[in-house]
A and B are shown apart, each in its own frame.
Chain A
Amino acid sequence: GENVEQHPSTLSVQEGDSAVIKCTYSDSASNYFPWYKQELGKRPQLIIDIRSNVGEKKDQRIAVTLNKTAKHFSLHITETQPEDSAVYFCAASIGAQKLVFGQGTRLTINP
């Protein structure tokens, strides 16, 4: 089955700097890659997603890139703000039905 590896497990950046989180997946048939943000004690919230027929997608300060050949995808957050502090999860699925999640990255934005 699908396996998703996520790195780093923790990331600390200065406010205003950029943050990058990387994930690799194992099943080349996976075609949908969402990213979720989970604040402490809250539900995971979808922040951006990308389909396998697209190489990059951007939404204001966040972007996701996908390299199908290498089977990895990344989340990029620019101009980080304190409210970006949270745990971020990547996921992969075939047909977006069964999501397999990475282990999560705890992002801390230092003022």
Chain B
Amino acid sequence: EAGVAQSPRYKIIEKRQSVAFWCNPISGHATLYWYQQILGQGPKLLIQFQNNGVVDDSQLPKDRFSAERLKGVDSTLKIQPAKLEDSAVYLCASSLVRQGIYTQYFGPGTRLTVL
């Protein structure tokens, strides 16, 4: 099956600018996640969607980050305005539940550099 797709793969912006990332999950996967992975650290969940509804956004900096998943398929993550500390890889993942377990499959990520 096709994997999780993300674009762009790389983005360089200046602080205070805006940026948006796009994710297309594996077909049929109802759950979609956005993670932030800072260099040298493990991924940290930003937001989780079940279909087009938000399940968990407790770690999303809502003053500058927003995300949506219209029609329960593709999703976009936006940062406005960006700060230097937002430099990271933004990973999208999707999952399908089997026997009560939501196995997560990751996309290739978008590497964001904020100058």
Nearest B residue to A44, CB-CB = B106
Give Cα distance in the complex from A91 to B45, angstroms: 12
DSSP class of B's interface residues: helix, strand, loop or mixed? Answer: strand
Give Cα distance in the complex from A45 to B40, angstroms: 17
Residues A32 and B101 in contact, CB atoms below 8 Å apart: yes
Residues B104 and A104 in contact, CB atoms below 8 Å apart: no
For the complex, count residues of B whose C-beta is within 8 A of A. 25
8 Å CB contacts to B: which residues of A73-111? 89, 91, 95-104
Assign chain A's interface to a size class: 20 to 34
B115 at the interface (CB under 8 A from A): no
A61 at the interface (CB under 8 A from B): no
Which are the 3 A-B pairs with shortest beta-carbon distances?
Answer: A101-B42, A96-B102, A43-B106
